[in-house]
Structure 1
């Protein structure tokens, strides 16, 4: 733990709500995982980010870190987000990623 504040959204709906709550704030790091459980994926969150950039009001994100065990999904996310000017870094297999029960 590095002492920074973090918020976790475990579903795409919760992720969209979290983004909207922080719409006016700078987000230093936004960590995204492709597969969220069941049929849920991160794509609704990616679409919110894309739409904001398309409308000329991208979210103020320092870096989007993609951590996913799904290489194809991660690559597609990175491509889409980079297209809209977001800075993206992949962290697949990173020891920095973990879950607390």
Structure 2
């Protein structure tokens, strides 16, 4: 009898300094941790990526956005099903949405 291969669990990553995001499989609390987290998943499918713009103090999500943009510019975008932007900063959130949409990532604004 043939064994069925297990269905892989969805990979749901979050980058947010405060929110618990309990549905995520991994969470980063700063842009530096977020860059590392994405690099760990560089060659695999990320089903969902949840991004907050303001990450405490002077930190923001922009280094992560830059990493995603540069990957797309170099012809090797990250494989992400949907990027959700859930920031309370409307201008910052719109910047992220526009930047990533420009590089053909599927991006949605989300409210929590």
Do both proteins adopt the same fold according to a TM-score greater than 0.5, normalized to the shorter chain? yes
**TM-score after normalising by structure 1:** 0.87
Secondary structure of residue in 2 paired with 1:62: strand
Deviation at 1:5, TM superposition (A): 5.5
| Unmatched 5+ stretches in structure 1 | 95-101
Change (3 A) 1:78 1:13: same
Query: What aligned pairs does 1:1-101 form with structure 2 within 5 A after superposition?
Result: 6-92=25-111, 94=112
* Count of residue pairs the alignment pairs up: 91
TM-score in terms of structure 2 length = 0.78
**Structure with the larger RCO, 1 or 2 (CA within 8 Å, 6+ apart):** 1
Which residues of structure 2 form unaligned runs of 5+? 1-21
Task: Give the number of the structure whose alpha-carbon radius of gyration is greater.
Answer: 2
